[in-house]
Structure 1
Amino acid sequence: MTENLSIEQIQSFKGKYPKQLWYLFFSEMWERFSFYGMRGMLYVFMTSQLLMKDTDANLQYGATQAWVYAFTFIGGLFADKIFGFRKSLFWGGLLMIIGSVILAIHPKEFFFIGVSFTIVGTGFFKPNISSMVGKLYKDDDNRRDAGFSLFYAGVNLGALIGGYICIAVANGNLWTSFVPVNLRWNYAFGFASIVMIISLLTFIQTQKSMGDIGLSPLLHLDNAKRKILEISTYVGSILIIPVIMIMVSNTIYTDYFMYLIGPISIVYLIYEMRSFTSSQNKKLIAAVIFMLFSVVFWAFFEQSGGSLSAFAVNNLNNTIFGVRLDPNGVNNSANSLFVIAFAALVGIVWLWMHKRKIEPNTVVKFGLAFLFLAGGFWIFYYTKFFADANGRTSLGLFSFGWFIITFGELCLSPIGMSAMTKLSPLKTQAVIMGMWFLASAYGQYFAGILGANIAEASENSSNLEKLKVYADGYQQLAIYALVAGIVLIVISPLVKKLMQEVK
């Protein structure tokens, strides 16, 4: 393995992808197995094991996921100011391992404390590995979008495996020959801890190839002063876990937090903008516009872990082309399967279009994302016309809806991560990436509210009536997504001016 490379040597790679991208790819892949495996179990665990009502489980899911993504802003801030990307990754991964081990030991009794460890750990891990990917490219390198698309395939390879295996084991639809019935949930959470250990070991063994990327921003300080700041951060992140546990288990506190964290982050960004040029600030305004629209996108997309989980449990049959599958496992993993199949291809298409000077700009790509999102939710709505008398409908058609939505995600998520690294000045890059994930937090939060409203409307209904209520709710989301996509395409010339030379 090549060591001690300069940033110039790393960024001057030949071919389509830098080799360091593959190291980050595999580290992120295993981390996403852990994260999406646990994410896919949340709703079902809360309704079947903690016996929560559907409405409460949707709100709890939204609150938990909102905290996960909100903490990425905090993790990005500490990476920028104290840890650097590498130590943030290691510390976050370690906390995630502890959280999933706690859940594996006794998921019912230790549910909220295990989830709280995972929330804080993800906050330190997630935004910083994405920022490291951005550092592998020069600012004007048009291969960046393709690189982020490949990285996103790694994210989804982990999400595919973990998203299906964990919930299928927990539901008793996989590996029943060696997983004891009374320990299904313990095993499922245990798998998340094992793969997180693999992720951390992968990063530790390959980080020397990263040159100076991700090192502490405090290397110029006296060693003793730096250690004090780092140890204080370690201790503070442990002490905040009981607070997170209380706030996650009581969704009203999440409401208060979400009312505050967004405005505070914007105020902080405005404070940082004082030291930037007018040109840099225009780019930051464009970044904020992308963040605001991404809130809407994720509020709809993240029905996957809430209302669509309920839809999968209650209203989907369990076969595709005669193959018996776990419907919730399909809901959790179908999107990831399609991303893996098409992410690299989409990246190559962007490169092909760029060479012919016909590649759509980032704003138009975002608009296309919403059009695909609208198409997918319209298909979810259309499943109601294939339902039987028991309210069960086609798992295959449902999966096709995810196929359509996948192209929307590929037009928004990897492109958005790439845009954040291009639009943000060097000194705030991790914070901007954290704000990008904070926008996802708001999306998760609103997803829980939307899902709870759908669940409340179908309360005390027959299974067939529930199907109709859920399907009609998805039709409304399709309409809203269509409107958002049209608005984005219409305002694309204005946003393009703010972005200046950034494509």
Structure 2
Amino acid sequence: MTETTSSAATTPDFPKTLGHPRPLWMLFMTEFWERFAFYGIRWALVLYIVAQFHGGDATGEQPASRTYGAYLALVYAAAIFGGYVADRVLGYQRSILVGAAVMALGLFMIAVPNQQIFEIGLATIIAGNGLFKPNISTMVGKLYGITDERRDSGFTIFYMGINLGALIAPVLTEYLAKAVFGSNAMPSYKYVFIASGVGMLISLCWFWVGRRGLKSVGVAPPGSESVMRVVYVLLGAAAAVPVMYFLLASGAGFLQWVLSALFIVLSLLLLVEGIREGKVQRDRVIAMLIIFAFNVLFWMFFEQAGSSFTFLADKIVNRQLGDFNFPTAWFQSVNSLAIITIAPILAVIWVRMGRSNPSIPRKFGLGLIFNGLAFALLMLALSDMVDANGKIPFWTLFMVYVIQSVGELCLSPIGLSMVTKLAPLRLVGFGMGGWFLSTGIGNNLSGIFAGHVSGETGMTTQSALSGYTFGFWSLMGAGVLLFLIAPLINKLMHGVK
């Protein structure tokens, strides 16, 4: 998912490489290594929690899934504050550097085989990600003038950096954990986390060396150049870590109440501002909030990828392909491979459809329906394709990731663009916060749902079938409903396309 923002009033004249401002390629590689770090640990987190802190017992699957969902939710929630720090306190360049350093520290901390240090490490990653993730994408937008025709293709190139990092990371970190430092029976997960920490340090160094080419883009706001500002932000990040740790340790249920309360407050602020600006803006805010609600549902089921789907791949999928055993971690690369392959095809389809191109709510509806079709395939596999060993065919889970990726491409790329068009002008930042928060709520619910799929005693074929059947009906019902009410939402949007 790529964030776009308006560029600065005056864009420096950058040297060109392959027709784009040269700093784009530096930002491409900075984000490549950050995504390498993020996705490098994604496949291992729930497996590590069960193995290290629950003695490998399947009863640990439920708390592992809940921790994973809460971690993802807080990563998105923290992004709400990172943009404010960059805008008002530190500038984008220094925010990225501080965020990268804090994230690297957290990644090395989770390699320590102690549950409390592990959770503090996750909290540290969350604090650092909040400073890094929203601001690196904003920097890309600032390389181009608002009317620069290369802007969209620049974000497409940057988006490829995200997906290439996500594609390679699980393959390499799984190889280190099993083939180099461990075995299939006893993976050495700490080297997954160490390798990801090294990736984050490369991202930090790459940006540190390359930032000179950014010229004035992303420098500290006037009057805030003092080094003490960096110290204050570091102290703020340090103070945020125990808050994040408390929210992680309090459990996904408590976190859900906190996130929901934040979302209600934010929604009321947006609605009040919309009412103040008049009927058209009020209606647009209502339309945006309706779509946020469907966004929660999409990510609740999409993010099974790092939790219940991982347990499914590990326990119930027949990964033997002739003499080759397809590693569980490699399933995490399928989404990125599918996006790189399918995104250009889908873009051509949207263009060729012209005036028949689906509206924003109907594209969201398609996203939900494709997500639902992925769960339909799982239902079929778990009910009619289970072999004598209690396993389902490899291709079914592989295609689940591919089908979900089509759904993601229908929904995710237009999300933030939609917010910039529908949010009240004075509160676009809050609108962005609502998008991130709705995604975070969905991620937290994904952990709670994955816990139900595993149950108290660990995932079984029957528990997976029951849970994924619920996922199918929820997604298909929501997708059909969104299609039916799309004309009403379009009316509320007052011409926004």
Q: What interval of TM-score do these two structures reach, taking the shorter chain for normalisation?
A: 0.7 to 0.9
Counterpart CA distance in 2 for 1:229 and 1:39 is: 33
CA distance 1:104–1:450, shift in 2 (3 Å): closer
2:466 aligns to what? 472
Shift of 1:367: 1.4
Decide which of 365, 368, 375 is 2:373's aligned counterpart.
375
- Counterpart of 2:3? none
Letter in 2 for 1:29: F
Give the equivalent residue in structure 2 for 1:74: 81
In the alignment, which residue of structure 2 is the partner of 1:194?
A: 198
Alignment check: 8 A CA contact 1:5 1:211 kept: no
Structure 2 gap segments, 5+ residues each = 1-6
Tell me how far 1:202 sits from its aligned partner. Answer: 3.0
Cα deviation 1:209-246 (Å, max 9, x = unaligned): 55655444x42xx458x766664333122122123223
Give the whole-Å Cα distance in 1 for the aligned partners of 2:151 and 2:88.
25
Aligned position for 1:128 = 135
Task: Give identity over the alignment, percent.
Answer: 32
- Inter-partner Cα distance in structure 2 for 1:132 and 1:285: 30
User: Which residue in the other structure is 2:4 paired with?
Assistant: none
Cα contact 1:75–1:434 (8 A) shared by 2? no
CA contact (8 A) 1:454 1:473 kept: yes
Structure 2 CA distance, aligned partners of 1:279 and 1:203? 43
Distance in 1, Cα, partners of 2:463 & 2:352: 43
Other-structure match for 2:293: 292
- How many residues are paired up? 484
User: What is the TM-score when the length of structure 2 is the normalising length?
Assistant: 0.85
CA 1:126/1:430 → structure 2, altered by over 3 Å: closer, same or farther? farther
Hey, what's the Cα distance between the residues in 2 that align with 1:151 and 1:83? 24
Taking structure 1 as reference, are residues 5 and 202 closer, same or farther at Cα in structure 2, changes over 3 Å only? farther
Describe the shift of the 1:147–1:65 C-alpha distance in structure 2 as closer, same or farther (beyond 3 A). same
Amino acid at match of 1:198: I
Query: Given the superposition, is the C-alpha separation of residues 10 and 349 from structure 1 closer, same or farther in structure 2, using an over 3 Å criterion?
Result: farther
CA offsets 1:260-300 (integer angstroms, 9 cap, x no match):
32223334445665886765565444443332211110000
Q: Classify 1:341/1:122 alpha carbon distance in 2 versus 1 (closer, same or farther; 3 Å).
A: same
Is the 1:72–1:124 contact (alpha carbons within 8 Å) kept by the matching residues of 2? yes
Between the aligned partners of 2:204 and 2:246, the Cα distance in structure 1 is: 28
Which of residues 466, 482, 491 is equivalent to 1:488?
482
Q: Is the 8 A contact 1:160 1:337 kept in 2?
A: yes
Relative to structure 1, the CA distance from residue 424 to residue 139 in structure 2 (aligned partners, 3 Å threshold; closer, same or farther) is: farther
After the TM superposition, which of the residue ranges 141-150 and 255-264 deviates more from structure 2?
141-150
Distance 1:357 1:10, change over 3 A: farther
1:27 alignment partner, one of 27, 30, 33: 30
* Aligned twin of 1:239: 239
Asked if 1:42 is matched to 2:45, the reply is yes
1:111-160, CA deviations, whole angstroms, 9 ceiling, x for partnerless residues?
A: 11111110111112122233344455666788766655554332222122
Q: Distance in 1 between matches of 2:108 and 2:88?
A: 30
Contact 1:298 1:444 in 2 (8 A): yes
Q: Per the alignment, in what secondary structure is the counterpart of residue 389 of structure 2?
A: coil
- Structure 1 unaligned spans of 5+: none
In structure 1, what residue type is equivalent to 2:471? L
Residue pair 2:361, 2:486 contacting (<8 A) in 1 also: yes
Q: Within 5 Å, which residues of 2 pair with 1:353-368?
A: 353=353, 356-368=354-366
2-structure distance, mates of 1:37, 1:83: 29
1:75-474 pair list within 5 angstroms: 75-106=82-113, 108=115, 110-135=117-142, 148-167=155-174, 169-170=176-177, 172=178, 174-176=179-181, 184-208=188-212, 210=214, 213-216=217-220, 218-219=221-222, 222-223=223-224, 231-251=231-251, 253-270=254-271, 282-320=283-321, 323-326=324-327, 328-353=328-353, 356-384=354-382, 385-424=384-423, 428-456=427-455, 459-460=456-457, 466-474=460-468
Question: Quick one: which amino acid aligns to residue 420 of structure 1?
Answer: V
Partner secondary structure for residue 360 of structure 1: coil
Secondary structure of 1:405's counterpart equals helix
User: Alpha carbons of 1:377 and 1:419: their partners in 2 closer, same or farther (altered >3 Å)?
Assistant: same
**Cα distance in 2 between the residues matched to 1:140 and 1:361:** 24
Q: Does structure 1 conserve the Cα–Cα contact (< 8 Å) formed by 2:8 and 2:142?
A: no
User: How does the TM-score come out when normalised to structure 1?
Assistant: 0.84
| Cα gap change, 1:16 to 1:435, in 2 (>3 Å) | farther
One-letter amino acid of the structure 1 residue matched with residue 192 of structure 2 = A
1:410 aligns to what SS in structure 2?
A: helix
Q: CA RMSD in A?
A: 3.5
Q: Residues 183, 296 of structure 1: CA spacing in aligned structure 2 closer, same or farther, 3 A cutoff?
A: closer
One-letter code of the match for 1:289?
A: I
